[in-house]
Amino acid sequence: MTTMDPAAQVARNARHLADTGRRPTTAVLLGSGWNPLVERLADRLTLPYGELPGFPRVGVAGHAGALEFGRLGGTEVVLVAGREHTYEHGRADAMKVAVRTLAALGVRTLVLTNAAGSLDLAIRPGELMLLTDHLNLVQRSPLVGETGSSRFVDLADAYDPALRQAALRHAAQSGELLHQGVYAWMLGPQFETPAEIRMLQRLGAQAVGMSTVPETLLARHAGLRVLGLSLITNMGCGLEAEKLSHAHTLATAQASAARAAGFLAGLVPALEAA
C-alpha cells in the first residue's frame, strides 16, 4: 500500500471535510482541561481523527481524538480535540497535516489552548493566562525540511495583537481574571527541576508547558492568526511544596475546566470581528 505524502493527505482531508458543508473560519485546539467546550457546541458534528489521514494518534490522558464542528453563539467553529506532543516521539511536526487541513478548509484563526505551570507567584492554579510570546527552548521546529522562502516565518507577532486585545476586552466584560505572559516550551515528558524553573524565570517566562509552540509555528507558516491561552494547573517545581504529576495536572485542570470553557465559548464569537 502506498502511503500518501502530507500534501496529498491535506488535499484529501480538505475534500472530505468540505463534504460536511461546514465552513468555520475559527478553530480551537483543545489542550488538557479545555474539553468541556465541546459540550457547549450547538448543531454538533463529530469526525474522528481515524477518518483523516495524517491526523495525530492521540495517546495522552486528557486528550480526545476528533474534530468537533458546531456553533458557539452563532459562530461556526471547529474544535480540534486532541494533540500529539513532541515528547511522544521526538518529532515537532506531528500536527502538520491537521493544521494545514484547517487552513485548506478555510480556517483563518487558530486558538491554541494548553495546561501550563506557573512561574509567577501572582499567577495561581486555576487561573488563565493569555500568551503574549513564547520561548522555544527545545529549539525544534515543525518547519525543518520545508523549502522556499515561506519557511522563514516572521514571529514578531506570533500571537496576534488584535486577537489578544479582543480576549482582554472579553475578560473585562465577563469578569474573568486573565493574566498575560510569555510561555516557555520545554520538551518533557518529565517536569522541570527547581534549577530549570529558576532559569525560566530569569529568561522572562511566566508559564511553562510541553506543547503549543509547534502548532504556533505551523499556523503562522500557513498564514493563520493565532491566539494562545493557558490554564494554569500548578506552580513550577520548587516554588511551593506541591508534588507534581500528570494526575495532579489533570485534576486541577478538570476542577477549573467548566469556567475556562465558559470563558472561551463567549470569546470565540468576539474573535470574528477582531
Q: Which residues are designated catalytic?
A: 32, 63, 85, 87-88, 115, 210-211, 234, 246
Contacts of 99 (CB under 8 A, 6+ apart): 110, 215, 218, 219, 222, 224
Which of 97, 68, 88, 55 minimizes the C-alpha distance to 218? 97
Q: What is the DSSP string of 119-170?
A: SSTTS-TT-EEEEEEEEETT---TTTT--SGGGS---TTSS-HHHHHHHHHH
Q: The C-alpha cell of 151 is what?
A: 519557511
What's the farthest any 2 CA atoms get from each other in the chain? 55
H or E, element range at 250: helix 246-271
Among candidate residues 60, 230, 221, 39, the one with its CA nearest the CA of residue 146: 221
Which residue reads 468541556 in cell numbers? 36
